[in-house]
Structure 1
Amino acid sequence: MKILAIFFLFIQSQLLLAQTNIQGVVKGQSGETIPGVNIFLKGTYEGVSSEIDGSYKLETTLTGEYILVFQAMGYNSLEKEISLQGESLVLEVTLREAINEMTAVTISAGAMEASDEKKAVVLKPIDIVTVPSAMGDIIGAFQTLPGTANVGNDGRLFVRGGDASETAIFIDGMKVANAFGTTASNVPTRTRFNPNLFKGSFFSTGGYSAEYGQTLSSALALNTVDIPLRNQGDLSIMSVGGGFAQTLTSEKNSITASANYFDLSPYQGLIRQNFDWERAPFGWDAEIAAKQKWGKSGMIKAYVHTESSGMKIWTKQPDSEGRGQLVDINNKYTFAQSSFKQIGKNDWSYYGGFSYSNNIDDFKIAADEIRNQNKLFHGKMAAVKSFSDKFSIKTGLESYFIRYSEQLISQDLKREIVDNQYNLFTEADYYLSNKLVFRGGLRSGHSSLANQTWLDPRFSLAYKFENEGQVSLAAGTFNQMPLEELRIINPTLQNTKAEHLILNYFINKNGRTIRAEAFYKGYNNLITFEGQRFNYQKIEQTGEGFAQGFDIFYRDQKSIKNTDFWITYSFVDSKRQFARFTEMVQPSFAPRQNASVVVKHFVGKLKSQFGTSFSINDGYTYHNPNLPGQMNSKTRSFQDMSVSWSYLPKPNLIIHLACSNILGRENVFGYQFSEQANDNGIYEGRPIGMQAPRFLFLGIFITLSKDKTANQLNNL
């Protein structure tokens, strides 16, 4: 027994001698201790967790070479090689924050996203098509967002004191030329594309990525739907026309074909119009969209859209009798594009494509017959490399081919310009932590027609607070070639320039979104001229200007049951010397104060969504030749209250009724004055108003599918 006791004491002493104590404290990069860190020897079951103060102590009888692992949610794993020899080890370690999409800070200065793919977005695709005042138009919905101005007699997108030509539109990353339908002066237009095509959008009010160029104020990037959910046919019967779309889909590919026709003549025969139409607007369009999955992680998309439209309108002159001048417009338009995305090996990804736009306008004004044609080819190839979860680089090459011609058919005269533009862009994102990210980029360009090369530096910085709110700063230089209708007269015109500075606060939490942004935009090399379109003279680049102000956006989906609403307010102080003005003036398209409210409420028992939107601004400036100075007068405030009712009596049937300006306010957008004074020395003028006091829209949308549960909202 004595021998056995001595034997056990010997074994115990050897075990105690072989035991290793590993201890220390786990901290973060800022020096804070991290509790709950999993600490274990790789390939074994031996491990502990750090205490509330970050301390840990691991005891083991193992010997030899091992790897000690430190793991914690939100941090990068850390591995250390250690040698276990029965001696105590003290290891003080520092874990670096892991960057992940759900918790990391993102660049928000100037950026507003509408998608279902990211956590922090302003709107979803379905929000765009259900804004009452939009009447199904994409741009109409964006006019309720901060930074935009509602210019009711135009219909295009005006952003922070910039002209509509300063906003570029992209579909799946490819440039769209002539994205709006051709129209007569003071007759509002719409985008050419069906909102049901798109799964999301990225709308920038400034300070945007180096990937986008040739636009001074804004970039609107629209992303099309991937593979649709099911086979279905969609029939649309509307108060202004109708259409049909058929979708065929499988697991790896799909194709959608559609055709639409509209004619406002029957509608205008029932509803009184303020415009003198000889032939109300009419037209048709057809399109095909195809998608194909490529390998395990790629997608190829192709899209073709073609349309034809026309109108005839009498434009009354302020100092003349009768109906005035007859303007006859016919437009033919084609847009085609193909794009691809592919995730490669070693954290590489690739995307790109090409697009083709061809717009032909035929005008008959009095005895003159004029044809304008604008062609654009755009090709892009880009690659993104993630070197780590903190650092990535995007770089790409673009090529633009532009051909623009004007033809005076009645006199057999024609002129044309051709420009090749080449662009190289590169941009890097570096996450210093989950709370701090820096983005820097450069965009270079060259125009063969202007014989000009330029370089645009841009950067953004964003910091995230503990309450999940974040602040962003963005700045950069932006270049844009003048309009082709000016370059065809003076091909040596150089880029117009803008410099952006933006400070942004953004928080999206618990169904509520707050976005506040202050901005400054300076302009140089703006175009000045005398005369008017088809007769420009003395074209120079001596203009300049600025726009400064702030935006506030609040959206709430939680406070009121079954109710979603957002409120927007924008203040813009904008002045510029441009066009025919010889001094700094406030542009007519830049009201100083703009506000909007959108409310949507769903009533389950009635299977209905009721909506209302209200937009207001402080009026539009205009030039009154009877008063001294330029842009010396201002209209009263613009106000529009619109309402809508969407009724779903069956899963595959939607009835939508909407009415704009339901209160019938007589909005005035400016005044048109005669070129010559009358016998009393007065320039006679007439108001530029609305096409009609109200616009009433009724649509019946029927979806034909095998299970009879699908509708046209499926893909939004």
Structure 2
Amino acid sequence: MKHRIIHIALLLTSVCNLAAQTIISGMVKSGQEPLAGANVFIMGTIDGCLTDSLGRFSFSTSKTGEASIKITMIGFEEYMQTTDACKLHNLSIQMKEKATAIQEVVISASTYSFGKSDNFKTMDALDVVMAGNSCGDIVAALQTLPGTQKVGENGKLYVRGGESEECQTFINGMHVLVPYSTNTENTAVRGRFSPFIFKGINFSLGGYSGEYGQALSSVLPMETSDAATSDKYGVSASLVDWNIGGTKAYSHSSLSFNAALTSLGIYNQLFSERLDFNKPYLKLSGESQYKNEFRNAGILKTYVGYDFTSVGQHIDNQNLSLKENNIYANTTYKAQWGAGYTLFCGMASSSVFNDIEDAKIAGDRYYNFRNEIHLKTGIRKICSDALKISAGMEDYLRNSLMEYENDCYKLDYNILAAHIDAQWRMMPHVFLNISTRTEYMAHANWLFMPRATLCYIPNKNFQLSFATGRYSQTPEDDYLATNKKSLGQSTADHAILSIQYKSPGTLIRIEPYWKKYQRLPLWEKGIYQPKGYGKSKGIDIFVEEHSLFKHLTTAFSYSYNDSKRFYHEYTEERIPDYVSRHNLRLTAKYSFGKAIIGLTESYASGRHFLIAKTPHYNSVDINLTYLLSPKVIIYSSLNNILGRTNIFGYNTNGRSIVPSRDRFLYIGIFVSLKNNKAYDISNF
């Protein structure tokens, strides 16, 4: 009888507990779409569940009376409702997508980012080395992108109908006066800097913010790597260059060095060429960098680089002898400064000495010295999740000296500039970046240059942007010297529409653009005057695909450009001789085992000269990289494997300008002496 009473009591308790259970149910949506995987639970209990594929949820709780239901999901704002527990059934809940914080936004209109970046196009130092026939040259690697023109007689960057001088290089935010090595006329040059020293490269083809000035067409900002955490040393060697480099790491700082010797002496003896070099191309360069990360979150970076270049060429009755010394150094400091402020200050110095004998005729001598001091300071403030503001000031102090026979000049001037930028999240998926830059140069008026970018980013895969603005640049010293600096600055107006899509295996970018040039230097009445003008319009298309086959990456790059100018010594408006209307590049990279093979097809339509139009340009390049061991990499490349003789242009006497050799073979070995990555040999 006693046991029977206990069983009845337990049964009654169980029934009471069941009666106390409340069913919580409903559906979670984002707009009209069900939201699967949302976490739904009752605050203060362990009762809850995840929504199913249709956004539905249902669970029971012992909570009675007032209860709070909470729903969370990554990328959405938290939802909470408090009411009587018995009313929390058959709910219909709309979740609001969480707005992206302004510091997380990357507006990539007309910009390609390499290195450690969340931007669309990514490329590390190894990719730079293996891009086409770049042989580790950043400039050559960038020429695989749309918007660049193939100008083989000097190898420099020409962007969207602009001259090479219209693309300016910055290291850690500081300007580089001459970013190229030197060479004889009608011979391709290389960029001065190794890709291994940079953690990030942002190549902007136009529409950049007010922070950057003195660039009519494009900017190439590069950020050096941070302080190393371990020692690394390495060497590399080939038929044309030899390198040694390394880094010594300390607790909060590191000191790096790199030394390189480039010489075509051995190569010229092994492989014939068209040009008559009586002194083979020789370049001796060295770089050093010190980085210190202070405990107060400040970062100090100091970089020093030096190049000495010499080459001699026999041209008709001349024995041209060219020597150049190029010294560049900068120091920057960046630190957090309380309440969301970031302070930046920097100083850079560029000095270039050119000494040329038999420059134009036998027995003459040309000497040119150029120097620039760049001073810059700026401050940034994250005001809220919706607003970020930056402002800064800078000064370019320049002087130059040119001596040639009875013709000489001496110049000194400065360009003072200030800018303010604001990036504002207008609504959850719409962002506005608006800025203004003002510049002043002696003997010229103040320039005010408004710039704006409106961007729609509905998700991580798609961006639609429109950028517009005005940009300026001081003419070259040779032009300024003719009329005692009264030229002032040239200007260019940009308008760019950018459509971008990215999935895990595919990247697509389409960008139509328009540019208008004013106040270009024009030779008139014996001097250069600011009466030149021009226009450039076109479209760039870039497609990169990783999903066609495993281990295969393919890229398609096409540019159409329609440019005309009336400037320099032109007697009428015409297409500049450096412009080719159509540029097409197809690249493929396939990895198998320890090897990576790359193939590039480059095509450019003919260029217009006063004498004639050149035939089209075409080159098929191949390269092979093999990991011999974890510390040794062998790299080889052969450009123009079909042996086509490309004509780059025509000189004043009608002679065709062709490369010194149709093919170029490069074989190099890269060895790490301490680190376990071979391509860390000179990684600062």
**TM-score interval (norm. to shorter):** 0.7 to 0.9
Matched, 1:509 2:503: yes
TM alignment of 1:539-554, pairs within 5 A: 539-554=528-543
Distance 1:582 1:94, change over 3 A: farther
Aligned counterparts of 2:92 and 2:514: Cα–Cα separation in 1: 48
How far apart are 1:553 and its partner, in Å? 1.2
Which one of the candidate residues 526, 529, 533 is aligned to 2:523? Answer: 529
Aligned counterparts of 2:498 and 2:85: Cα–Cα separation in 1: 56
Residue identity matched to 1:702: V
Secondary structure of 1:121's counterpart equals coil
How far apart are 1:162 and its partner, in Å? 0.5
In structure 2, the residue matched to 1:74 is: 75
TM alignment of 1:114-153, pairs within 5 A: 114-118=114-118, 120-153=120-153
Distance 1:54 1:583, change over 3 A: farther
How far apart are 1:35 and its partner, in Å? 6.5
Which one of the candidate residues 365, 369, 377 is aligned to 2:365? Answer: 369
1:44-84 Cα distance to aligned partner (Å, 9 max, x none): 657787895789999886789x987553321233678x798
Which one of the candidate residues 623, 634, 639 is aligned to 2:618? Answer: 639
Aligned counterparts of 2:393 and 2:650: Cα–Cα separation in 1: 43
Secondary structure of 1:456's counterpart equals strand
Aligned counterparts of 1:619 and 1:190: Cα–Cα separation in 2: 23
How far apart are 1:123 and its partner, in Å? 3.2
TM alignment of 1:429-468, pairs within 5 A: 429-430=424-425, 432-433=427-428, 436-464=429-457, 468=461
In structure 1, the residue matched to 2:198 is: 198
How far apart are 1:410 and its partner, in Å? 5.5
> Relative to structure 2, which stretch is displaced further, 447-456 or 211-220?
447-456
How far apart are 1:582 and its partner, in Å? 2.6
Aligned counterparts of 1:419 and 1:210: Cα–Cα separation in 2: 19
Query: Structure 2: where are the runs of 5+ without partners?
Result: 1-16
How far apart are 1:24 and its partner, in Å? 9.6
Secondary structure of 1:159's counterpart equals coil
Query: Structure 1: where are the runs of 5+ without partners?
Result: 1-14, 316-322, 531-535, 625-632, 675-684
Distance 1:314 1:400, change over 3 A: farther
In structure 2, the residue matched to 1:712 is: 680
Mapped contact 1:528–1:542 kept (Cα < 8 A): yes
Secondary structure of 1:126's counterpart equals helix
> Relative to structure 2, which stretch is displaced further, 178-187 or 402-411?
402-411
Aligned counterparts of 2:397 and 2:113: Cα–Cα separation in 1: 30
In structure 2, the residue matched to 1:319 is: none
Distance 1:388 1:427, change over 3 A: closer
Aligned counterparts of 1:185 and 1:487: Cα–Cα separation in 2: 23
* RMSD value, Cα: 3.6
Which one of the candidate residues 406, 409, 413 is aligned to 1:418? Answer: 413
Secondary structure of 1:560's counterpart equals coil
Distance 1:324 1:398, change over 3 A: farther
TM alignment of 1:168-317, pairs within 5 A: 168-228=168-228, 230-250=230-250, 252-295=252-295, 297-315=297-315
How far apart are 1:312 and its partner, in Å? 2.1
Aligned counterparts of 1:712 and 1:652: Cα–Cα separation in 2: 9
Mapped contact 1:149–1:591 kept (Cα < 8 A): yes
Which one of the candidate residues 380, 392, 409 is aligned to 1:384? Answer: 380
Distance 1:437 1:326, change over 3 A: farther
Residue identity matched to 1:580: E
Aligned counterparts of 1:164 and 1:709: Cα–Cα separation in 2: 35
TM-score scaled by structure 2?
0.87
Mapped contact 2:670–2:678 kept (Cα < 8 A): no
Matched, 1:562 2:557: no
Mapped contact 1:105–1:437 kept (Cα < 8 A): no
How far apart are 1:334 and its partner, in Å? 0.9
> Relative to structure 2, which stretch is displaced further, 450-459 or 164-173?
450-459
Aligned counterparts of 1:341 and 1:103: Cα–Cα separation in 2: 17
Aligned counterparts of 1:440 and 1:420: Cα–Cα separation in 2: 25
Residue identity matched to 2:364: D
How far apart are 1:570 and its partner, in Å? 0.8
1:185-235 Cα distance to aligned partner (Å, 9 max, x none): 222211111121112211111112222121111111112222346322211
Matched, 1:359 2:352: yes
Residue identity matched to 2:445: Q
Matched, 1:492 2:493: no
Aligned counterparts of 1:666 and 1:86: Cα–Cα separation in 2: 84
In structure 2, the residue matched to 1:659 is: 638
Distance 1:595 1:63, change over 3 A: same
Which one of the candidate residues 677, 682, 688 is aligned to 2:657? Answer: 688
In structure 2, the residue matched to 1:699 is: 668
How far apart are 1:151 and its partner, in Å? 0.5
In structure 2, the residue matched to 1:404 is: 399
Secondary structure of 1:302's counterpart equals strand
Mapped contact 1:616–1:640 kept (Cα < 8 A): yes
1:332-361 Cα distance to aligned partner (Å, 9 max, x none): 111111233434544433444222111111
Residue identity matched to 2:510: A
Distance 1:243 1:33, change over 3 A: closer
How far apart are 1:549 and its partner, in Å? 1.3
Mapped contact 1:107–1:461 kept (Cα < 8 A): no
Matched, 1:325 2:312: no
Mapped contact 1:424–1:443 kept (Cα < 8 A): yes
Mapped contact 1:106–1:462 kept (Cα < 8 A): no
Q: Number of residue pairs matched? A: 666
1:403-458 Cα distance to aligned partner (Å, 9 max, x none): 2222327659542222132222323131522xx23232223222232432122222
How far apart are 1:273 and its partner, in Å? 1.8
Residue identity matched to 1:384: R
Residue identity matched to 1:549: G
Aligned counterparts of 1:499 and 1:589: Cα–Cα separation in 2: 20
TM alignment of 1:16-31, pairs within 5 A: none
1:507-547 Cα distance to aligned partner (Å, 9 max, x none): 221222111211111112222116xxxxx932112222211
Aligned counterparts of 1:136 and 1:592: Cα–Cα separation in 2: 28
In structure 2, the residue matched to 1:673 is: 652
Secondary structure of 1:459's counterpart equals strand
Mapped contact 1:701–1:712 kept (Cα < 8 A): no
1:649-690 Cα distance to aligned partner (Å, 9 max, x none): 22212222222222221111111124xxxxxxxxxx211111
Aligned counterparts of 1:251 and 1:67: Cα–Cα separation in 2: 51
Aligned counterparts of 1:23 and 1:657: Cα–Cα separation in 2: 65
TM alignment of 1:108-119, pairs within 5 A: 108-118=108-118
Mapped contact 2:431–2:456 kept (Cα < 8 A): no
1:102-160 Cα distance to aligned partner (Å, 9 max, x none): 99874232111112331632434421111132122111011110110111001110001
Distance 1:294 1:592, change over 3 A: same
How far apart are 1:91 and its partner, in Å? 11
Aligned counterparts of 1:241 and 1:106: Cα–Cα separation in 2: 38
